[in-house]
Amino acid sequence: MGPFTSNDPEVVASPSKARRRRIRSTGQLLVWAVKRRKHLATLIILGVFVYRSVVSTSKSLRVFLTGVTEDDWSSGDSHQFSQNKEGVYPLEFVHIPSTGGLHIERVASEKGIAWGACKFEADSRDLPYSQCRDEFISRRRLRYQSPKSWECGISGTVYPWHCPPDKLKSGNKYKGVETFTIVRNPYDRMIAEYYDFFDRLRDRKLERGDAGGIERDLNSPKELHKWVRDAIRTSRHEGTCYQGHCIEFYKYVYSKEGEQLVDHVLKYENLQTDFDDLMAQYGIPLSLAGVEVYPNTTNRTLTSDDLLHETVTMINKWAKSDFKFFEYKPIRFLTSERNASLIHYPQNDNGMHPLEFVHIPKIPKKKYESKGTGEVFWIRETDDLNNPKLMNQWIRDAIWKAKYRGSCYQGHCVPFHEFIYSDKGEKLVTHVLKMETLNEDFERLMNQYKLGMKLQHKNVRVSNTTLSVEELSDDVVELINDWSKKDFELFGYELIKR
């Protein structure tokens, strides 16, 4: 007998024994009614006995009355397992929306198991939840649950069957039992949420007699982007975008303290195999074989390849923990400011690409306050930035700050060699490009790594700048020679000697 086989004597006993027990009980009731001249009670008892006898012996009448075949009834009777007072089974399903959960609930309900929405009375379910086979569930003497007793503590409206276990106001009702749930790639999940939302909206309009449909191109990446943007924004503020949808996966599986709340996490991408294996492990005769788990995508053409850069960025940030906990790889982009072509380029756990850029800042050209030499002055936007005296004073102050503070400001004025070599002389940067030949050097490097990128602008002097090395004062040249001595030596630049 499997772990979920009922110990109910009425289920375990053979049909003949159960029938004799019912006949004996009915006879005792009849004797009691006749002795006390309870004529109405006698008629009721006889009526019930006759009805049950006819129904239990007539297969055709049973099918006629219930619409359920004998094979259907018998296939589930020997595998019934009991609910506790909270309506929870020894193995429970935690239903995350848009992950194939409707199929799970349907195949379970056909065996008389009420998981998810099927745990509640039919009139408390929404349109998509007509998949519950109540004619089978009621046969198993189900304890239907009240939505109020499963009320969710998230501020937005959440169906009780979509509420994360530790967010239920009455506490985690799945404590003490085994649980399973389904997750999927976060990009595919949000695309499915998008289509499901408008499918449901269309159904509601049809229910109201409005045959106008949805007046927008649902296969437009821009429409998807707008919906995802609003859905994530609403989810952040209210905990859900609508009715329990758009809640991050990890909030179902883990508590705030990091405790794992769900025992088995199945992947939507392998749902049929994973589910069938889990059911076999627990001895439950359920299977998704022959069930169309993955929806007809004829009218759903968008995939993760169609996501806009901005959409990917939003999902990456919102579902960061889902990518981490459930081992899905986020899409990363390399993109230039004026080039719309995007490159899928992997990153490690520290956000590093196989080829990384170490950014050495340029010297600032505008507003700056100097205190290095003891003389306080401002470079204002109205000042003539092509004034050699102003430039030389700024350089004196910047080098003073860099020497004694490590940087003139925000990482600027740090010698090149400190970016490229360690204190022990170990080279930290693989490729060193030169500003003087940057366009050619960069293109050559990108081709070497098969990234196919080019700089969009030629590296030329800004048109309104006129200062050059010739305008440097002698003392400033000496300061630069001393401060950048290693840079001149290591990178092959010539010292100016005056």
Residue 265 is predicted with a pLDDT of 98
Residue 120 is predicted with a pLDDT of 83
Higher pLDDT, 79 or 143: 143
**Per-residue pLDDT reduced to its tens digit, 110-139:** 888 889 988 887 666 654 545 687 666 655
Residue 287 is predicted with a pLDDT of 94
Residue 262 is predicted with a pLDDT of 97
The single-letter code of the amino acid at 240 is T
Residue 46 is predicted with a pLDDT of 64
Question: Confidence band (pLDDT; 50, 70, 90) for 235?
Answer: very high
Question: Confidence band (pLDDT; 50, 70, 90) for 462?
Answer: low
Question: 214-223, 261-270, 428-437: which has the highest mean pLDDT?
Answer: 261-270
Question: Confidence band (pLDDT; 50, 70, 90) for 456?
Answer: low
Answer whether residue 281 shows pLDDT above 80: yes
Lowest mean pLDDT: which of 210-219, 238-247, 277-286, 486-495?
Answer: 210-219
Residue 376 is predicted with a pLDDT of 41
Answer whether residue 234 shows pLDDT above 90: yes
Q: What is the mean pLDDT of residues 487-497?
A: 90
Question: Confidence band (pLDDT; 50, 70, 90) for 86?
Answer: confident
State how far the Cα of 140 lies from the Cα of 142, in Å rounded to an integer.
Answer: 5
Q: What pTM value is reported for the model?
A: 0.55
Percent of the chain with pLDDT over 90: 36
**Per-residue pLDDT reduced to its tens digit, 133-189:** 766 665 555 677 888 889 999 988 899 999 999 999 999 999 999 999 999 999 999
Higher pLDDT, 455 or 256: 256
Average pLDDT, the chain: 77
Residue 14 is predicted with a pLDDT of 36
Question: Confidence band (pLDDT; 50, 70, 90) for 347?
Answer: low
Q: What is the mean pLDDT of residues 321-330?
A: 96
Question: Confidence band (pLDDT; 50, 70, 90) for 73?
Answer: very low
Answer whether residue 71 shows pLDDT above 50: no
Residue 403 is predicted with a pLDDT of 86
- Boundaries of every domain in the chain: 9-57, 91-282, 368-491
